[in-house]
Amino acid sequence: MLKIISFILCSLFLTSAFADIGIYTYSKSGNIFFYSKNENKVLQLTHSEKNAHPVLSPDQRWIAFITRSNYIIPRACAFSLTKTNYADEIRIVDLKTMHKKILVAVHLDCDHARKVIIDPNDLQFSPDSKTLYFATSAWATSGAVHAVNVDGKNLRFVIDGNEYRAVQHGKYKNDLIVNQHRARFKGDTPLGTYDWDWLFTPEGKQIKLYKKEN
């Protein structure tokens, strides 16, 4: 099973790596900040006190983050992971132009698990910084992994899963490791369920069962 601690360690590593070269982003009191050693100053990127969980792209051009929207979550979306009655959306900042925009708006299609987007979380960029992946709640036993281009185009459902990782380096660079809840059978006889990690292409095509390799 893909352990949550691996995500934490990966996030800490990336944060440390960016910090070592004097570039990093963080949230404080509901706002997003960015520090650049070259400019030797901290920039406050938002002022609404509704923002959190910023991530910096590998090429250091983009910062994506979660912000609370003004849309009230309908009862049909009671499975939401949000901690308020309001749905969340994703915003992005182009650090080259300092332009901010909504990257992924709220989608209140609560009866369509592949389309509903009310609680985006776990933002991760692709290695080339052109794609942002994110997770949402979806089915009773599984969440969903989605992707969108950084220009806001080609928003798409990728695969069902409860945890995922966009691989940044090594043999499986550009692929996705996704933990899925699956049923196990012997013939037609159910043997129970299990949670294993599977390797997928960025388009959601299954490659194989994932096994960590040196």
State the CATH architecture for 4-209. Answer: 8 Propeller (2.140)
Locate 180 and state its tokens: 């899925």
Decide: 137 and 79 in contact? Cβ < 8 Å.
yes
pLDDT over 70 at 2, yes or no: no
* 209 Cα distance to chain centroid: 22
Closest-CA residue to 135 (of 168, 112, 103, 160): 160
Rounded CA separation 194/34 (Å): 41
Q: What is the pLDDT of residue 10?
A: 40
* pTM listed for this prediction: 0.86
Q: What is the pLDDT of residue 25?
A: 92
Residue with more model confidence, 52 or 211: 52
Rounded CA separation 132/101 (Å): 14
* 15 Cα distance to chain centroid: 16
pLDDT over 60 at 13, yes or no: no
Q: What is the mean pLDDT of residues 32-54?
A: 90
Q: What is the mean pLDDT of residues 73-89?
A: 85
Segments making up each domain of the chain, as ranges: 4-209
125-161 residue pLDDT tens: 999 999 999 999 999 889 999 999 999 999 999 999 9
- In the block, tokens 């440390």 appear at 16
Rounded CA separation 36/42 (Å): 7
